[in-house]
Chain A
Amino acid sequence: MILALIPLVTGTYWVRVLTGTLMFAVLAQAWNLTGGFAGYPSFGNTAFFGVGAYATGMLMVAGMPFALALPIAIVVGVVFALIVGLPVLRLSGHYFAIATFALAAIARSVVSIIPSRGGSDGVTLPLSPFSADVTTTLFYYAFLALALITLITIALLQRSRVGYALAAIRADEQAAWTMGINSTLYKNIAWAISAVVTAAAGGLYAYWTTFIEPTSVFDPTIDVKMIIMVLLGGSGTVLGPIVGAFALEIASQLIWQQFLTLHGVILSILIILVIFFIPKGIVRRTIARVKQKAPVA
């Protein structure tokens, strides 16, 4: 089950692409926690991403070193998540989706409006003290580390009490309550962990690109990409989001290289096709195929 991800020493272009892919892998896994395992599809994870990014950015602009800014940004992200989780997690289904979407939109508006945070002009972070090449590689490893940590956490979580609780909640929340599962507690745990990971990714992202502004960081496309990756890879599975992230990003890059103008059209058709033909995700399909071919035990 453990993918040996070989840190590639290839050209800088692909390292950057893969770094981005790893970031999405992290985001997708975070989404999977609430969306796939618990069954609460959130359209607002960009809010945490942005909060993490902006918190890191502003702290660093005020002079704090990255190693200190990032953890604080994560804490800010979690606190924010728990606060907004209070009203939002009470909803379910479509309403939850809309509420989380509104959340991200509000976060975006608030940040653009308040002038002290650089408003819509954005925040420029100090550059890393290392050279460009070293920096690129460093960030690759940073995101790789984050992705692995998340992976291990989620894998452990799935087998733990929390994981079972979430699965019960997804299947039938009322029945879960009847069985004594405090769904609110577990939903919040999933939500908080999701926020931690997403905010961390946001903070790393901010330092990586050194310039953030509301539209780029709170971009709803990021959310949708997360969701599609999870869908593609298999929601509710441990490896699904990672597989989905890699598949989508690499496909996206290749398509972009070949079909510059048609890129958007092809991508959207691809999304629709995925939904029809691989609704359960690649991981589940692969497992099913493997089981079919294995001799009956």
Chain B
Amino acid sequence: MSLQLLANLIYLGVFYGALAAGFSLIWGVLNILNLAYGAFIVLGAYATYYAYSVFHIDPFLFVPIAMALMFAFGYLVHVGLIDRLRDERIFTILVLTFGLQLLIVNVANLTFKADFRSITLPYTGAGFYAGGVSIPYTWLAETAWALAFVGGLTLLIGRTWLGRAIRAVALDKNAARMCGIDVRRVFALTFGIGSAIAGGVGSLFIVTSSVNPESGGALTLDAAVIAAFGGLGSTLAAIVGGIALATVETLASVFLGPSYRSLAAFALLIITLALRPQGLMGRRYFAQIEH
């Protein structure tokens, strides 16, 4: 395997890992599959696009702002919609997030039109050569941010008071409540954090790929596959899942042909679910909140 391929894999894997981290967080803590996650990413991407084309803000610098915006959006969505749902059967929540996704996609189609957008920076093509491997500058920035997302999330969950509250709620919501933790607030904050990551990923995404309102669906799916494969309960699991998906997709693409990419991804998913449903590194007690 050439070094270039390896570099590609690491880059893609880390990106996928960051992509899934937010989704995995929401799934692991709230036991909600946020089907609108991809749409959130797309919203972050559009915000970055406009920041760049109108105000000429470099997307990599805009990332924190995109994250803040999507945090607020996610928080509001949770407090305004998801939290108000009294009927908590799994499939009502799924349909709710799906409806939300449809809504975002349709509104985006109306406001932004269906064209594909992408950002081309003055330094997009440039990179450097090291040991026979070409590394574009954009890759470096993206990987740095992706690692920052995942690293930041790990620190947040592992070292802060909020992180401890989140873990407590994820493990046993009622016991956490009895310890004085405001469970609803933690849920809302977690949803916000997951959405913030989505927003950040969106900023990165629009630099390398083109985005249109419909792109969200595939992204949500990717996130779900990675989260399911890697397992819930740790950010490292998201990265592992990301690298796994990247590997499977790339191998399928190289050996079988590009059209087999998604097939390989889904096959991976089904095999995981059949053999080890909790994922490679899934920890028990996560996503067990009874709905």
Verify A267–B33 contact, CB threshold 8 A: no
Point out the residue from B106, B107, B259 that lies within 8 Å of A113, measured CB to CB. Answer: B259
Tell me if A's interface is mostly helix, strand, loop or mixed: helix
Please give, as numbers and ranges, the residues of chain A lying within 8 Å of B262 by CB-CB distance.
105, 109
By beta carbon, the residue of chain B nearest A113 is B259
Please give, as numbers and ranges, the residues of chain A lying within 8 Å of B94 by CB-CB distance.
41, 97
Verify B107–A265 contact, CB threshold 8 A: yes
Interface flag for B228 (CB, 8 Å): yes
By beta carbon, the residue of chain B nearest A105 is B266
Total interface residues in chain B, CB < 8 Å: 40
Point out the residue from B84, B87, B277 that lies within 8 Å of A95, measured CB to CB. Answer: B277
Verify B266–A106 contact, CB threshold 8 A: yes
By beta carbon, the residue of chain A nearest B93 is A275
Please give, as numbers and ranges, the residues of chain A lying within 8 Å of B277 by CB-CB distance.
91, 95
Query: Contact mask B47-80 → A, CB, 8 Å, 1/0?
Result: 0000000000000000000000000000000000
Cα separation A91 to B277 with both chains bound (whole Å): 8
Verify B102–A271 contact, CB threshold 8 A: yes
Verify A271–B99 contact, CB threshold 8 A: yes
Verify B85–A276 contact, CB threshold 8 A: yes
Cα separation A264 to B85 with both chains bound (whole Å): 23
Cα separation A112 to B43 with both chains bound (whole Å): 31
- Assess A110 versus B90: contact at CB under 8 Å? Given A91-B273, A265-B103: no
- Assess A279 versus B269: contact at CB under 8 Å? Given A41-B94, A95-B228, A268-B99: no
Please give, as numbers and ranges, the residues of chain A lying within 8 Å of B267 by CB-CB distance.
106
Cα separation A98 to B23 with both chains bound (whole Å): 14
Most buried by A among B33, B81, B103, B267: B103
Cα separation A105 to B268 with both chains bound (whole Å): 12
Top 5 A-B residue pairs of the complex, sorted by shortest distance between their CB atoms: A264-B106, A87-B274, A271-B99, A268-B102, A279-B87
Known: A224-B95, A279-B85, A279-B86. 10 other contacts (CB 8 A): A87-B274, A94-B27, A98-B273, A99-B274, A102-B269, A109-B259, A224-B98, A265-B110, A268-B102, A279-B87
